[in-house]
Amino acid sequence: MIAAVTDLEDRVTGVHRTWLARDGRGKAPVEIPRRAMGDLLGHAVRFGTVSDVLAAGEGIETVLSLREIMPDLPLAACLSSAHLAAMTFPPALRRLYVLRDDDPAGDHAVTTLLARTQEAGIECLVLSPRLADFNDDLRYLGRGAMRAILHPQLAPQDVARFLQPVTP
């Protein structure tokens, strides 16, 4: 999997590569299955066009898992907890959802972003998975459970705006 890392003007600043297993069940059995190069700090792999709301997380898989449940929500995969903490805020951003990974590095990124968004006048809401990350929630618990996990953590106006309804 190859993904472009871009800045806020959509200029490519780097590339992230993940070697995947042939059967599609995880990463390839190579020594280092992920590599990134270029100018990454503050930038992200982006999905959708940011307006006033954005969700940001560490990994591409985590961010794409959220896209399964909230396909219209703009997303940014910052590629690591340090890069998530240092992300550059789009000028029109008014609310940032942080996709928290359940580990000490994820907690540090959340703490840093809470302080940075407060200083910038941006509302910051933390979305916490039930398992280690939202990719695990989607794979092991399913779409319905992940939707139920996210619903109470969202701003009420964003439930109707972004949360995909349950389909039979």
Query: In angstroms, how far is the first alpha carbon of the chain from the final one?
Result: 31
Return the pLDDT at 166. 67
pLDDT at 26: 74
Q: Under a CB-based contact definition with an 8 Å cutoff, are residues 21 and 29 in contact?
A: yes
Q: According to the model, what pLDDT value does residue 50 have? A: 86
Q: What are phi and psi of 48, to 5 degrees?
A: 90, 170
How far lies 90's CA from each of 27, 76, 81, 85, 163, in Å? 32, 11, 19, 14, 22
Looking at residue 28, its pLDDT comes to 77
pLDDT at 103: 87
Mean pLDDT in consecutive groups of 10 residues from the start of the chain, 168 residues: 92 89 78 83 93 94 95 96 95 96 90 96 97 93 95 96 77
What pLDDT sits at residue 53? 97
| Residue 36, pLDDT score | 83
CATH number assigned to the domain covering 41-162: 3.40.1360.10
CB 34 within 8 A of CB 53: no
Domain boundaries defined on the chain? 41-162
Could you tell me which residues come within 8 angstroms of residue 108 by beta carbon, excluding any fewer than 6 positions away? Answer: 81, 85
- pLDDT at res. 67: 96
Residue 64, C-beta contacts closer than 8 angstroms, at least 6 positions apart = 47, 75, 77, 135
Predicted pLDDT at 33: 75
Whose tokens are 């020594």? That residue is 31
